[in-house]
Amino acid sequence: MFLASCASPPYSSIGESSIRDIAWPPPPGKPRIRFINEISTAADLGIQPGIWSRLAGWLAGGKEYRLIRPTAAIMTPEEILYVADPGAKAVHRFDIRHKKHEIIRLQDGAAFRSPIALAIGPENQVYVSDSALNQVFLIRSDKPYAVPFQTSIALDQPTGLAVDEKHLYVVNTLRHEILAFDLEGELLFRFGNRGTGAGEFNFPTMIWSEPSTRHLWVTDSLNFRIQQFDKNGRFISSFGRPGNATGDLPRPKGIATDRHGNLYVLDSLHNSMQIFNSAGELLLYIGEQGQGPGQFWLPTGIFIDDKNRIFVADSFNSRVQIFRYVGEER
């Protein structure tokens, strides 16, 4: 349950903002989600760019020192933050513990064209989808570049990614389907086709594998809904509708669950982060268009780690906002 108590573990070396009292729901409600900080540059993490980042930034007129149009952010257990940034045509790697920032491109030095989504795989390798190159790439933690992840079939505008112990799931947006590969790139199965029925899609975008159940949650964007499947692609449930009221989903994008099974959905038209239970009942609504803490401008990607930290790629605000589920914190 969303209101269940939760002992919040330490949230590592990402310091809290000097703005300490921003939480939702607002008083007199008991806080459940607290604003922690925002990241626009490496300096926000106390990191000075390395020589290659400085060179890349110089070649790009200084633009690569900061996030430009982030669409996804993930944090590995080693406290390495990766941010997909189509505006920079690159992936940023912020090694927080070792105070290091790198610009990740392809192995031959070529730029990404449109890196969209990220997912953490075995040994904390990071998968990256590029919707313009129609390919998935792999970043190893000890390498300063990405290599192609070879799939047994061609992709058609891949966007969202999710990984469990056996599968890499890829949202194949232009085909209105989800592809399930093994971790060697062989296609195991696929599900979905264009339509409005249960298990059908209309331009799906993002996907999340819930760690406890391995259920898959998919943003079925132009059907204005969220769909739930088991790990084999069997339909379980759906909820959502277009509209302007809280709880509506006119443009759902990023999706993630916390360890209590609550579902967080970003909506790029409402500029919001909405939190639902597994039955699709609205628990909490955060956001409006703006540049302050908890305000958004086209939020796109969301990631929740095992420390209850919530990372939101606030795309047109050129930043990643960090929140934390605080439960019964006093």
Q: How confident is the model at residue 10 (pLDDT cuts 50, 70, 90)?
A: very low
**pLDDT tens track for 145-183:** 999 999 999 999 999 999 999 999 999 999 999 999 999
Order of strands across the sheet that contains 235-239: 204-209, 216-220, 225-229, 235-239
In terms of Cβ atoms closer than 10 Å to its own Cβ (0-12, 13-18, 19+), residue 210 is buried
Report the relative pairing of strands 177-181 and 168-172 from DSSP bridges.
antiparallel
Whether the per-residue pLDDT at 328 is higher than 60: the answer is no
pLDDT value at residue 50: 58
Report the relative pairing of strands 263-267 and 252-257 from DSSP bridges.
antiparallel
Q: Please state the rounded mean pLDDT for residues 111-132.
A: 97
More confident residue, 3 or 228: 228
Whether the per-residue pLDDT at 29 is higher than 50: the answer is yes
Q: Please state the rounded mean pLDDT for residues 105-131.
A: 96
pLDDT value at residue 304: 98
pLDDT value at residue 327: 77
**pLDDT tens track for 220-262:** 999 999 999 999 999 999 999 999 999 999 999 999 999 999 9
Query: DSSP labels for 16-41?
Result: PPS----EESPTTSPPSEEEEEEESB
**Chain position carrying tokens 């298990």:** 199
SS3 55: helix
**pLDDT tens track for 54-91:** 555 555 555 557 899 999 999 999 999 999 999 999 99
Whether the per-residue pLDDT at 11 is higher than 80: the answer is no
Would the CA dihedral through 278, 200, 312, 97 be positive or negative? positive
CA 126/CA 140 separation, integer angstroms: 7
Whether the per-residue pLDDT at 8 is higher than 70: the answer is no
Query: Average pLDDT, whole number, for the chain?
Result: 90
Is the pTM above the cut of 0.75?
yes
Q: How confident is the model at residue 3 (pLDDT cuts 50, 70, 90)?
A: very low
**pLDDT tens track for 203-213:** 999 999 999 99
Order of strands across the sheet that contains 100-106: 72-75, 80-85, 90-95, 100-106, 145-149, 135-139, 126-130, 115-120
Q: Please state the rounded mean pLDDT for residues 117-145.
A: 96
pLDDT value at residue 17: 60
